Amino acid sequence: MKVLFVCTGNTCRSPMAEALLTHKLPEIKAQSAGVFAGMDQSASPHVITALKEKGIELQHHSQPITEELVQWADIVLGMTSQHKQSLVMQYPQYEEKYFTLKEYVSSDDKEIDGDIPDPFGGSLEVYQETLQELEYLITLLIEKINK
């Protein structure tokens, strides 16, 4: 399976999700991109620190969302409903691939609503909280992939 994570600038949430998934499930193919991302920006220093505390080294350079990336992916997981909506507006022909991360990992007995807040500009503690939330969601994602 090929998973594309999408956030705003591709320097915080989506690179964290990509790093967590590939760390926990190395055989999966994952990438990340941003709906308003520039090219080749490093991940936020707090992202690198928070991941390093979990034993994950991150070498990341941002990239904007492209049709090629969307075509490549089996599923495209946005961090917010706005990211999903932006994808629908840009590339409506692939709408069946688009979910928010929380929407995708929800199940009949465990519905998870809401967006994953952007930690950009926050303290290291804010980034650690985002990472903790993403760890939980990535664990649910792996359970779903392995079914």
Q: Which residue ranges form the domains of the chain, and what is each CATH number?
A: 2-145 (3.40.50.2300)
Contact 80, 100 (CB under 8 A): yes
Query: What pLDDT is stored for residue 111 in this prediction?
Result: 72
Burial 99-134 (b: 16+ CB within 10 A, else e): bbbbbbbbeeeeeeeebbebbbebeeebbbebbebb
Contact 99, 67 (CB under 8 A): no
Q: What is the pLDDT of residues 68-79, one digit of tens each?
A: 999 999 999 999
Query: What pLDDT is stored for residue 19 in this prediction?
Result: 99
Query: What pLDDT is stored for residue 113 in this prediction?
Result: 79
Q: What is the pLDDT of residues 85-135, one digit of tens each?
A: 999 999 999 999 999 999 999 976 677 778 999 999 999 999 999 999 999
The catalytic residue positions are 7, 13, 118
Query: What pLDDT is stored for residue 22 in this prediction?
Result: 98
Query: What pLDDT is stored for residue 112 in this prediction?
Result: 79
Query: What pLDDT is stored for residue 147 in this prediction?
Result: 86
Rounded CA-CA distance 86/78 in Å is 10
